[in-house]
Amino acid sequence: MKFDIVCFDFDSTLSAIEGIDALAEKAGCGVEMAALTNAAMNGEVALEEVYAQRLNLIRPNKAEIDWLAGVYIENRVAGVKEVFEQLHAAGIAIHIISGGLKPAILPMAAQLNIPANQVHAVDLSWNKLGEYSSFDEQCPLAKNGGKATVCSQLNPKQLKLAMIGDGKTDMEAKAVGAFCIGFGGVVARPLVQEQADVFIKESNVQAVLPYLL
């Protein structure tokens, strides 16, 4: 076995959309939001500079998050189910580490047999009417370097860990010894191609398996 722990980004890696952009489009501010998301993923601005700004612009209610969960599932990237089945069968610990919104990610994670405590993402809170209240500002994943922090927390014994994703924030896990696989099957970012230990251009995520097993 090459790796003991395999961590996946979610947006544009396991699902072919950026959830925050889909919510923004629904709310009528899609162009502005996509520019902010791209600036963060390409490393042009710090994630923490745009995180609160994006959520305050959209203020997603509970029903909209439930809607997004369904859109994530509809847009699952080719090969995801097969990859997770093979990794489970090999006895590898699988985690999802995302700067996305945890309540929207959990339903697809459950379909892939990933328990909630192995989904690391940003939680939201709502008021009694289901209207947006706030996000977990203490979550490291709402900041640059957050994925490296989570990978470090998951791996106190310094086991072999791989991180797979499409953005600069995924490549930051290299700082804590992760083997970083850049996934360009949805969005191919030059910075990620440059920084990744391995870069995958294929649109089917099963292309990562030879590097993991």
- 3-class secondary structure, 145: coil
With both helix axes pointing from N to C terminus, report the angle between 19-27 and 62-74 in degrees, rounded to the nearest 10. 120
Is-contact 106 85, C-beta < 8 A? no
Active site members: 9, 11
Which tokens hold the place of 120?
Answer: 């690391």
With both helix axes pointing from N to C terminus, report the angle between 102-111 and 62-74 in degrees, rounded to the nearest 10. 40
Which tokens hold the place of 200?
Answer: 């995958």
Of 165, 75, 62, 83, nearest to 120 (Cα)? Answer: 165
